Amino acid sequence: MAGPFSLEGRHALVTGANTGIGQAIAVGLAEAGAKVICAGRRASDETVDLISQAGGTGSSVLVDFADPMAGNSLFDGQQIDILVNNAGIIRRDDAVDFSEADWDDVIDVNLKALFFTTQAFAKPVLARGGHASVVNIASLLSFQGGIRVPSYTASKHGVAGLTKLMANEWAAKGINVNAVAPGYIATNNTEALRGDPARNQAILDRIPAGRWGEASDIAGAAVYLCTPAARYVHGAILNVDGGWLAR
């Protein structure tokens, strides 16, 4: 008999699963028993291989979320029980110099695509009934202002708000909607920060855990929110940040 932390028999789709946090979450879901579809603008062959090595089942589909409506057909003809909205981009510049293109590009991927992909996921779930889970990837910048990332900060504040709104609308209809807010994680998105010695040290000095997080640190929290153990968790934003926000 499957336990409260098992995802046996569940089908998941993870966006941005070709690398970093998305890859770790996809592998974690598979290790918990889910069959995982890895969606991204680049092939997720490495992720699928890692899933296979872990004894799981995975597949890859190419979707470029620069088109906010690109996820609309992802759920046609197949039953998906779990959606993890991880795909995201970041652009850096001073607020006074920030371009409209950099604003629109980030908002389209991080916020608009997230909403309409989740809408496309929810429609068949609500029509057929049963239980499903959505996990959005928020950020410390869902709570803080950050520096030189205006569109990213705006998008992640929006992700936090949409997480709560969708939870309010769907909690009584069988869909759990929650978010994980990663702290400073060693991924491609933070390479510029880690490459700046002064900024890197300032970040480390602020983190009570004394280290940058790893993508695998996020996977456990995301997997938990998809399991029956989290069935009464709705609209939560779980900080996985080494204690950053507690400082």
* CA angle centred on 87, ends 84 and 93, rounded to 5°: 140
- Using DSSP's 3-state secondary structure scheme, residue 206 falls into helix
> What size, in residues, is the chain?
247
Sheet holding 132-137, edge to edge: 57-62, 35-40, 11-15, 82-85, 132-137, 175-182, 237-240
The maximal CA–CA distance of the chain, rounded, in angstroms, is 58
CA–CA separation, 114 and 112 (whole Å): 5
Output the six-digit token pair for 103.
């604003």
Q: Which of 152, 184, 224, 232 is catalytic?
A: 152
Residues 6+ apart with CB under 8 A from 189: 20, 88, 89, 90
Count of CA atoms in the C-beta half-sphere (13 A) of 10: 27
- Catalytic, 184? Answer no
Give burial (CB, 10 Å; 0-12/13-18/19+) of 181.
Answer: buried
State which amino acid sits at residue 222: A
Catalytic residues: 152
